[in-house]
Homo-oligomer: A and B are copies of this chain.
Amino acid sequence: LEEPLSFELGAEGKCGVDFDAADRAPAAGLSKFLRKAPPALPGLTEPEAVRHYTRLSRQNYAIDLGPFPLGSCTMKHNPRLNESMARLPGFADVHPLQPQTSVEGALEVIEQLADWLITLTGMASVAMSPKAGAHGELCGLLCIRAALDARGEERDVVLVPESAHGTNPATAAFAGFKVQSIPATPEGRVDLEALKAKLGPNVAGVMITNPNTCGLFEPDLKRIADAVHAAGGYVYCDGANFNAIVGKVRPGDLGVDAMHINLHKTFSTPHGGGGPGAGPVVLSEALAPFAPLPFVTRGADGTIHLVEEENRGEGHAQAFGRMVAFHGQMGMFTRALTYILSHGADGLRQVAEDAVLNANYVLRTCEDVLPAPFAKSGPCMHEALFSDAGLADGISTLDIAKGLIDEGFHPMTVYFPLVVKGAMLVEPTETESKAGLDRFIASLRSLAERAKAGDQSLHSAPHFAPRRRLDETLAARKPVLVWKGDAGEPAAS
């Protein structure tokens, strides 16, 4: 059933909130600033609003409804305990600028989470304030910039493998670097020799994703790091795929200087339809002094201190500045810490093992019907990569993806990484059961068979979703970004 826009449902003067009466009129001095009429925002009463959003929600697919095997996105179960802990008034109803004595528990959450992140990654320090993965990347690169500045060096090139997330080159550019690409080997790894060839005095560092976007561990990472370090650069590791290795190997042991951690991937904070995320960045000894303000430290006596502009003092003179107002994504910290404490050191290791086992199970049960370009290289990590080579003419990855919708599943990541034609990147995560995976695999296999047989009905999939395929070209050509229906321009219907 169709759900109108809230603007189409609402009426002038409807309101779902009651107020005490204002007992004082606006101050006289305010009169020249007053608006003439309330904003043109029709309201809804509570019954109408609850129904509107409940009905809208049902047009979404979600991890609570079924597998969501988006490669590189790590859509795992979001425990409800995390939600209830984040809503404790002591966390949710605390102002970021309260005196430290009144927020010691909040600072302790940050410190405890920081301690776990440092220990799990084997690094020296962590910057907690970045707001999301890409923001964490930026933080890492700014640390590198700050470190180079401190050394008085003007290195302006960052090397990025061609299989990198799009955020990597964008971030490097945003941080003022020039990006140079490094090719992949036929086995889907970074080409070590090609990388070495590019190293030089102008290279600030390298950004590497590990496990990489082909779902493979970079076995040469330590050698890459050694080479980069020898050339005076730093190693940034994109930690989006940390879920595959948490508790199995510490990036710090592989020579990484900075790595962001998507709390919403490895540590299960909910994705919420596109955020908020949180992207703390762990840092090596070399970069730690440059971490941005504010941060939380634990003194030798166990007391916890918040370091901000006002008290950075000599000890933190090199901190490169502030990336955000306030302290970062506190609500995500409480969820992530709750998750981490629930799993413990043993559970997190099991997370990685089950995530990798589930991905390999998908790889091995489907490689006979779908080309798996790197399957012969050995086991994959947490995601299985397939390609649409060999399907019937005209049937492509997109059709398989939309066909999965009709089977009741969310599609995998498609056309990424770019190094594989018609890539399909399947990341089941550790929170899918074997029975659930078996159902998914059966659907994927059946779609592959239909695609090989040239079943043209796949072109028009999905058939059983709230919408058929949407015209994205139209949307981009004549962008309609706001509703203007009440201004005499009725919305399309």
Contact = CB atoms under 8 A, between A and B. Distances in A.
Interface of A: 1, 9, 18, 45-48, 50-51, 54-55, 58, 64-66, 76-77, 79-80, 342, 408, 431-433, 435-436
Contact of A54 (B47, B65, B76, B436): B65
A338 to B, nearest CB: 13
Copy tally for this chain in the complex stands at 2
A1 B408 contact: yes
Nearest to A64: B54
Given A45-B433, A50-B64, A58-B58, 20 more contacts: A1-B408, A18-B342, A46-B77, A46-B79, A46-B80, A47-B76, A47-B77, A47-B431, A47-B432, A47-B433, A48-B433, A48-B436, A50-B77, A50-B80, A51-B66, A54-B64, A54-B65, A55-B65, A55-B66, A58-B65
Closest 5 CB pairs of A and B: A47-B77, A47-B431, A54-B64, A1-B408, A50-B64
Contacts of A54: 64-65
Contacts of A80: 46, 50
26 contacts: A1-B408, A9-B435, A18-B342, A45-B433, A46-B77, A46-B79, A46-B80, A47-B76, A47-B77, A47-B431, A47-B432, A47-B433, A48-B433, A48-B436, A50-B64, A50-B77, A50-B80, A51-B64, A51-B65, A51-B66, A54-B64, A54-B65, A55-B65, A55-B66, A58-B58, A58-B65
Contacts of A47: 76-77, 431-433
Contacts of A9: 435
Contacts of A431: 47
A58 B54 CA distance: 11
Contacts of A46: 77, 79-80
A408 B66 CA distance: 25
Contacts of A50: 64, 77, 80
Contacts of A76: 47
Contacts of A66: 51, 55
A431 B433 CA distance: 42
A160 to B, nearest CB: 35
Q: Which of A58, A76, A342, A435 has the most CB of B within 10 A?
A: A435
A66 B52 CA distance: 9
Nearest to A464: B1
A405 to B, nearest CB: 12
Nearest to A431: B47
A45 B436 CA distance: 13
Contacts of A408: 1
A342 B47 CA distance: 14
A290 B389 CA distance: 83
Nearest to A429: B47
A480 B14 CA distance: 50
Nearest to A434: B11
A408 B1 CA distance: 7
Nearest to A53: B64
A2 to B, nearest CB: 10
A48 B64 CA distance: 9
A47 B432 CA distance: 8
A416 B123 CA distance: 72
Nearest to A2: B408
A195 to B, nearest CB: 40
A12 to B, nearest CB: 14
A80 B17 CA distance: 12
Contacts of A18: 342
A63 to B, nearest CB: 8
A54 B342 CA distance: 23
A46 B64 CA distance: 11
